């Protein structure tokens, strides 16, 4: 069951280093051999690469556990990445902050109540500029 | 294209609304190794995508393919075409479950060509379909396009 008290909870800011080898690994795992990922000395990240915050957020960086969504019934419904300019390149050190932005219910076509949760992560570069934002939407059927 | 270059062959004047770009990216049949490779690359180790007993306990016959894998393939089709450095937005919505053995095809269409903030931009609508022609992921992406 989703814990509504998680709404607005923000994780501790954490750092994420954008690494060339991880970019290569992610590009290949998602079917790309584009030289902008594999041959560039300082490649840009693939469009969905910022999901690799999993490796950096630690225990207190992600507020997601507070949501207590079922691991077996919960599902990823939508995902969005916004880039304010070119996607970050290898060698960039990002500061990331995640927050539970929205929790709401919708009725399914069959009359079940679905609980949606949206978590937003903001990515800032070394100068403090907001370079990217991620929005993850997950749903738990009632 | 020379290695290391992020230039693309697509130019603003030649790109039109309704453009469907290169041939679809076809991927599969998806193996459990493909799933594990994605999960290792992403750091999402949700067991339902690789742990057979866990997946069965949740009521599935096989591990469910991690949704970010087809979503990533969809983005790859577009960034391979319009250039990895040019992407400004990608949104995906999952529509159907994907299973090991499925064969996916990813493609999209330019739905809008416009100028914003002194940049040339295009919006794309994308779809990843399985071997039955059922859409499994829908996508919306925005790219800047060089002159």
Share of chain B above pLDDT 90, in %: 86
CATH code assigned to B25-29+66-144: 3.10.129.10
Query: How far is the C-alpha of A5 from the C-alpha of A65, rounded, in Å?
Result: 12
Give the residue from A23, A62, A50 showing the smallest Cα distance to A133. A50
Q: Alpha helices, DSSP H only, in A7-112?
A: 20-29, 35-38, 58-61
Burial, B108: exposed, middle or buried (Cβ in 10 Å; 0-12, 13-18, 19+)? buried
Distance from CA of B124 to the nearest CA of A (A): 14
A10 touching B, CB under 8 A? no
- Residue B9: the pLDDT is 67
Question: How far apart are the CA of B58 and the nearest CA of chain A, in angstroms?
Answer: 6
Each domain of chain B, given as residue ranges in start order, spans 25-29+66-144
Give the Cβ contact number of residue A90 at 10 Å: 19
pLDDT band at B146 (very low <50, low <70, confident <90, very high): confident
The residues pairing with A89 across neighbouring beta strands, listed in sequence order, are A44
Confidence of residue B14 (pLDDT cuts 50, 70, 90): confident
Determine the residue among B2, B28, B76 to mutate to test chain A binding: the one whose Cβ has the most chain A Cβ atoms within 10 Å: B76
CA–CA separation, A139 and A105 (whole Å): 9
The answer to whether A7 touches A54, Cβ cutoff 8 Å, is no
Closest-CA residue in chain B for A80?
Answer: B91
Question: B81 burial class (0-12, 13-18, 19+ CB within 10 angstroms)?
Answer: buried
ipTM exceeding 0.90?
yes
Facing residue for B25 by CB, picked from A31, A71, A81: A31
CA nearest B34 in A: which residue? A29
In a domain, residue A26? The reply is no
Is the predicted pLDDT of residue A71 greater than 90, yes or no? Answer: no
Could you tell me the strand order of the sheet in which B135-144 lies?
A14-17, A93-107, A113-124, A130-141, A75-83, B87-94, B135-144, B119-129, B104-116, B25-27
Say what the pLDDT of residue B1 is: 39
Mutation pick from B9, B27, B42, B47 vs chain A, by most beta carbons of A within 10 Å, is B42
- Asked if A31's CB is within 8 angstroms of B76's CB, the reply is yes
**pLDDT of res. A35:** 97
The pLDDT of B102-113, averaged and rounded, is 98
What Rg value do the Cα atoms of chain A yield, rounded?
17
Q: Are B70 and B131 in contact (CB under 8 A)?
A: no
Closest among B91, B39, B93 to B65, alpha carbons compared = B39
Which chain B residue is nearest to residue A82, measuring alpha carbons?
A: B89
Residue A109 structural domain: 4-18+47-141
Rg (CA), chain B: 17
Placement of tokens 């493909």 in the chain: B34
Q: Does B88 touch chain A (CB under 8 A)?
A: yes
CB atoms within 10 A of CB B133: 7
pTM above threshold 0.90: yes
The CATH number for A57's domain is: 3.10.129.10
Q: What confidence tens digit (pLDDT) does each residue in B28-57 have?
A: 999 999 999 999 999 999 999 999 999 999
Across A37-41, average pLDDT: 97
- Alpha-carbon span A69 to A75, nearest angstrom: 9
Total of domains in chain A: 1
pLDDT averaged over every residue in chain B: 93
Of A36, A71, A76, the CB nearest to B6: A36
């Amino acid at each position: 069951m989703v814990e509504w008290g998680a709404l607005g909870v923000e994780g501790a800011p954490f750092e994420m280093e954008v690494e060339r080898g991880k970019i290569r690994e992610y590009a290949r795992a998602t079917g790309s051999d584009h030289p902008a990922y594999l041959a560039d000395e300082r490649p840009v990240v693939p469009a969905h690469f910022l999901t690799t915050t999993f490796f950096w957020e630690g225990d207190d960086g992600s507020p997601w556990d507070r949501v207590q969504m079922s691991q077996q019934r919960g599902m990823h419904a939508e995902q969005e990445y916004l880039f304010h300019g070119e996607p970050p390149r290898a060698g960039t050190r990002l500061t990331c902050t995640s927050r539970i932005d929205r929790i709401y219910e919708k009725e399914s076509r069959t009359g079940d109540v679905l609980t949606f949760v949206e978590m937003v992560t903001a990515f800032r570069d070394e100068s403090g500029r907001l370079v990217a934002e991620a929005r993850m939407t997950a749903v738990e059927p009632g | 294209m020379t290695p290391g270059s992020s230039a693309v062959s697509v130019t603003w004047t030649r790109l039109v609304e309704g453009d469907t770009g290169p041939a679809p990216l076809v991927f599969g049949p998806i193996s459990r190794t493909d799933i594990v490779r994605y999960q290792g690359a992403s750091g999402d180790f949700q067991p339902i995508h690789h742990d057979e007993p866990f997946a069965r306990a949740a009521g599935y016959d096989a591990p469910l393919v991690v949704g970010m894998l087809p979503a990533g393939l969809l983005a790859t089709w577009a960034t391979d075409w319009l250039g990895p450095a040019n992407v400004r937005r990608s949104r995906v919505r999952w529509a159907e479950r994907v299973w090991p053995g499925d064969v996916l095809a990813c493609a999209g269409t330019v739905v809008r060509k416009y100028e914003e903030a002194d940049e040339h931009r295009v919006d794309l609508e994308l779809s990843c379909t399985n071997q039955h022609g059922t859409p499994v992921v829908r996508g919306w992406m925005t790219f800047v396009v060089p002159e």
